[in-house]
Amino acid sequence: MSPNPVSFGQVIPVTGVNLGFPGTVSRFGERVIAARQLVQQSVSGTFNLNFGDPAVLIENNSGGYWASVADFVNAAASNIALVAAQFGGMAVREVQTQLAYPAGQTPGILQVGYYAPNQMAEVLERGSATILLSVGAPVAGSQIYTRVVLNTAVTAGLVGDWEATPVATDLFTDVTPTGTVNTNTLTITNANIQAGQVVSGLGIAPGTYVTVYTAGTATLSKALILDVIAGQAVTFSNLVALPTVVARTGYVDANSILEVTIKVRQAA
């Protein structure tokens, strides 16, 4: 035997376990999945529901249908305040026949499948599955959000994505606003306020968002239910906390995949 044996191949360092593809349902624990048609909401924009993306339930008298959060928000500004209430779950991955090789496909680049409008889409309403995390570094059990308003300071954040650990310009509290009950305006000066942000706090009606912001005045989608007095905390957010969705662990793999858990079924 040679004193210096030749080694063939290449050593590949193990940096962490890959969690798989977006929309992969965990084999452990509960799995409640519902199939409904995906229906386009907006005239232009993103209509598809990517595997692993959050979905909203549009109710009707025949069982309802799904829409992606991005499509839902793009369809009407008033839908922004409805995302949390109508959140239905996340699209789960299916194996689909590839009839044509995608143009421009690059080896090593994650390819994400999707449901197209009018297709039947399967959505996980309760249980654990993998998602593509756009922003943030979560810890186990931490709240997961979806974006409803773009922020130039967070270039990776897209409307309808999944995010964790909001930055100060995405979710912030201001104690200077004042406003009078039954009116739709707050007197406030804050450079981070912009149209579309969800607003909450004492005196703010549930489901309120900013319709217009000009220097010193925020116009709201709903009238104040109480006087807002300086010193009371009013919160503005570009993100919506999705009900009962938390990070299952704090581990995000090299492809930005995170496993999350929907603890309680939201849809009917």
Among 259, 237, 239, 66, CA closest to 161: 239
Taking only the tens place, the pLDDT of each residue in 251-265 is 999 889 999 999 987
What is the reported pTM?
0.84
Helix or strand holding residue 218 (H, E): strand 217-220
* Sign of the Cα pseudo-torsion (150, 91, 144, 162, in order): negative
The tokens for 252 are 């995000």
Place of tokens 């810890």: 139
The region of weakest confidence among 8-17, 164-173, 239-248 is: 8-17
pLDDT, position 268: 59
Mean pLDDT of the chain: 88
SS3 70: helix
Q: Cα separation of 166 and 6, whole Å? A: 51
Taking only the tens place, the pLDDT of each residue in 41-94 is 998 877 899 999 999 999 988 889 999 999 999 999 999 989 999 999 999 987
237 has which bridge partners?
Answer: 171, 198
pLDDT, position 46: 77
Mean pLDDT of 243-253: 92
